[in-house]
């Protein structure tokens, strides 16, 4: 059976998130088992929550390929000892995985007949939850509490995909536009410090 575009993006999202999890383990100088664990929990965490909420079979339970990808990425990064992976690679890998997974999450929710607005929410949860778990386990401040654009790029990616899908755009165009827009927003946050206005209480 030929693999679909959404399935290709799904594997790509899992692999990039798994890499960001393994790199977090590298920063903490952990053993290979921890590398694989961080890779797996980051790679499949968001998709697991999505599937549980929409009533779908949990994707990595029914297809062991995802677990194999996570384990392979974790072992590969451990074996390479981080050579050729600059410190900021964690941010850029996470940014790529964030936007890809937002589109994948929204696409799967729509395929299960979920309302378009909720499909966007599912896309955002798919994209962000793995990173949240990774940070909590590593003792890092959650990405949700940092003053940088993180959830916003996921919203942008999922929203553009759902909107273009509603307009009957080809999946490849809707997916590409969603990933590109979200990544542009996240890149601006990483490289140029883009932020949304924050709440300032009256004195």
pLDDT tens digits, one per residue of 33-68: 999 999 999 999 999 999 999 999 999 998 999 999
76: pLDDT strictly greater than 60: yes
90: pLDDT strictly greater than 70: no
Which residue in 162, 106, 159, 94 sits closest to 130, CA to CA?
A: 94
pLDDT at residue number 132: 87
The more confident residue out of 10 and 32 is 32
| Cβ neighbours of 83 (radius 10 Å) | 7
Which residue in 83, 125, 101, 106 sits closest to 163, CA to CA?
A: 106
| The two three-digit tokens of residue 28, written as one number | 């903490």
pLDDT tens digits, one per residue of 175-200: 899 999 999 999 998 888 888 777 77
Q: Mean pLDDT across the chain, nearest whole number? A: 86
Q: DSSP per residue over 15-67, as a string?
A: HHHHHHHHHHHHHTT--HHHHHHHHHHHHHHHHHHHHHHHTPPPHHHH-THHH
| Cβ neighbours of 81 (radius 10 Å) | 9
DSSP H or E segment with residue 151: helix 151-166
Q: Name the pLDDT band for 3 (thresholds 50, 70, 90).
A: low
pLDDT at residue number 1: 41
pLDDT tens digits, one per residue of 91-120: 787 788 889 889 989 999 999 999 999 999
């Amino acid at each position: 059976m030929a693999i679909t575009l959404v399935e290709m993006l799904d594997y790509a999202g899992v692999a990039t998130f798994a890499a960001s999890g393994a790199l977090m383990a590298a920063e903490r100088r952990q053993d290979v088992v921890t590398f694989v664990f961080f890779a797996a929990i980051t790679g499949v965490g968001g998709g697991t929550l999505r599937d549980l909420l929409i009533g779908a079979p949990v994707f990595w339970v029914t297809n062991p390929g995802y677990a194999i990808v996570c384990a392979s990425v974790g072992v590969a990064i451990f074996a390479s000892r981080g050579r050729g992976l600059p410190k900021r690679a964690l941010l850029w890998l996470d940014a790529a995985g964030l936007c890809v997974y937002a589109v994948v999450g929204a696409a799967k929710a729509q395929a299960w007949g979920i309302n378009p607005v909720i499909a966007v929410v599912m896309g955002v949860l798919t994209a962000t939850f793995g990173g949240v778990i990774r940070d909590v386990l590593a003792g890092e401040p959650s990405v949700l509490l940092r003053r940088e654009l993180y959830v916003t790029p996921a919203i942008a990616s999922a929203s553009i995909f759902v909107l273009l899908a509603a307009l009957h755009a080809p999946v490849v165009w809707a997916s590409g536009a969603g990933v590109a827009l979200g990544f542009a927003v996240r890149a601006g946050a990483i490289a140029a410090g883009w932020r949304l206005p924050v709440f300032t209480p009256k004195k």
